[in-house]
Structure 1
């Protein structure tokens, strides 16, 4: 489904492509005070736009309902379709940028996926909400207005995929959801925000710059990605979960270890065996921040969280990367 929302005198406004996937920003509840037990993805793209009439003065918006689900149900099929749609739209000279509405629980993962698979000087802005559309003081409408304003702004060009919530602008490469319910949940503790919104206008702290080591994967011929589960390391952990994942069809693994990606000794031994067999295991960390450094077993995740390491490994495997190339992706 596609639609267009623009007043008749908007020809001078920049064009923004809006892709809706559902989530809390499109959520609905019978109670205006219910901000936790609601139905995500209940409101369509037309109603999202209608709730923010100020958008008509910001951009000419063309919209597509890619999905209407909770972010936990945004799978690789949706993301591959979204990446291709973004690539096509951003090639249109009439489009200044794109906005993706998305549930917040897995917004950072999806935005990172797009960061790795869509390369354009034009911005892609992910936006969501922590309160459903039916809540008192819902944050979605302002977040959406800010996101469209950001996507239409020349100042956002050359900055890659962005995340815009709660008046802050973050890089999809680094930003994570840090609180399960708070409005100010999206942060990059080590790298900081790229900018903020003042009275509805984006203000950046720095000139455009790309994250060091950011890879790009061409997904033009890819129909599906290999299975890469994440395992959570814990005391008394043995190799059984690793073997079960491989028996279930895993082509690679990410293990979120303690601290600096530390694994229990039986797990280390099994990972070392898999290293010799050519099976890739990436050691990430359960910690929210920090760098995972190389050790004898597995491949160190470096700066990447376990959830982001999963997409990076899956895309590397899907595009035929060697073990050494994969190691370089994570160490860059």
Structure 2
């Protein structure tokens, strides 16, 4: 449920409607499903067109599958019971492994990269975003599915959610088992992702992640288990829908507010933003090392409500007052980091991450810095509005 929060920063009072999902959360009035006509798509952001109209009756939706690698494209290592090499299968291999997928949509396939998601990087992010925006701007497809490794899928989803300027759906999908495993989950997940991307009810929902018959929004989804196929959860808001062989059902309403979007960064690498992981007995070495290597932003993965040792607090405040963007997030798996609660953000010059975890906070700060946004009041407002 939405909550009303008042942000206070250096004398500035800003009223903002917050949703437990944080950035990009859903705050509409009703859910919808693929078995009923699509609701009106979410309000378009400034400069956007509402281009998410359903395909003409009697025609198949056009879905582009953009492959990046990951476990879903992995092949088992004969020398290990659990080991595998990520990024071995191609986009066409993945499609060919799903009988009947061509009955759901008219598919096209492109190989953007073929890497494990632990090696995901700014160059691939920008390449993906540019290609997706191009496909939508030319009206060549009705939706996009991105195959991706699960380790950083939530970060790529969050990035795309804020740089893709269309209400057409983008769905990221992966698997926990390689394509050659005895019980590979990739084929079923890919089929589900195509179903979601082809669903009229998916329009206006931004970027989503689909695994294990469950649909998650980009802002809240996170990986919670190293090996389980039910690894992805949305700890603050819950999933936004479910999919089975017969239907796509959204249980969360369409967002009322437009997504906060940015231009795709024109150059890479993106501005350096480091995550500072808090622990007992901590000194300021991590902060000083990050700054010494050129970090323009720092995200604290703090204990509890975004807290840390006094030595680190002092170092972070000094950095913030020198112009570095400093955000307090938490290493805890759920809950909000409340502004001016455990620490006085107004005095420190820091920003509260609210419901965004450290990894997604880092991505947002990179986008803000890439667009010249460094003022703490503006950064805080964008954390509330995104």
* TM > 0.5 fold call: yes
| Residue of structure 2 aligned with 1:307, choices 359, 363, 369 | 359
Measured at CA, do residues 222 and 181 of structure 1 come closer, stay the same or move farther in structure 2, by a change above 3 Å? same
Deviations 1:80-102 (A, max 9, x none): 11011010112233411000000
Aligned pairs, number: 320
Aligned-partner Cα distance in 2 for 1:314–1:326: 11
In structure 2, the residue corresponding to 1:142 is in which secondary structure? helix
Aligned-partner Cα distance in 1 for 2:276–2:259: 24
Deviations 1:54-84 (A, max 9, x none): 1111111111101101001010110011011
Measured at CA, do residues 330 and 199 of structure 1 come closer, stay the same or move farther in structure 2, by a change above 3 Å? same
Aligned-partner Cα distance in 2 for 1:213–1:119: 11
In structure 2, the residue corresponding to 1:207 is in which secondary structure? coil
> In the alignment, what sits opposite 1:112?
158
> In the alignment, what sits opposite 2:51?
none
In structure 1, the residue corresponding to 2:364 is in which secondary structure? helix
Question: Over aligned residues, Cα RMSD in angstroms?
Answer: 1.8
CA contact under 8 A between 1:119 and 1:160: conserved in structure 2? Answer: no
Deviations 1:202-222 (A, max 9, x none): 111133226x68421112534
> In the alignment, what sits opposite 2:221?
175
Equivalent runs, 1:8-23 vs 2, <5 Å: 12-23=59-70
Deviations 1:105-160 (A, max 9, x none): 11111101101111211100000001100011110001001111111111111111
Q: Which runs of 5+ in 2 are unaligned?
A: 1-57
In structure 1, the residue corresponding to 2:162 is in which secondary structure? helix
The CA deviation at 1:330 is: 1.9
Does 2:374 match 1:327? no
Aligned-partner Cα distance in 1 for 2:352–2:201: 35
CA contact under 8 A between 1:33 and 1:136: conserved in structure 2? Answer: no
> In the alignment, what sits opposite 1:47?
93
CA contact under 8 A between 1:31 and 1:134: conserved in structure 2? Answer: no
Aligned-partner Cα distance in 2 for 1:223–1:307: 19
Measured at CA, do residues 137 and 200 of structure 1 come closer, stay the same or move farther in structure 2, by a change above 3 Å? farther
CA contact under 8 A between 1:83 and 1:117: conserved in structure 2? Answer: yes
Deviations 1:172-219 (A, max 9, x none): 111111111111111112201111113242111133226x68421112
CA contact under 8 A between 1:98 and 1:124: conserved in structure 2? Answer: yes
TM-score (normalised: structure 1): 0.92
> In the alignment, what sits opposite 1:264?
309
Equivalent runs, 1:261-300 vs 2, <5 Å: 261-294=306-339, 295-296=344-345, 297=348, 298-300=350-352
Aligned-partner Cα distance in 2 for 1:33–1:149: 34
Does 2:81 match 1:29? no
- Between 1 and 2, higher relative CO (CA 8 Å, sep ≥ 6) is seen in 2
CA contact under 8 A between 1:149 and 1:200: conserved in structure 2? Answer: no
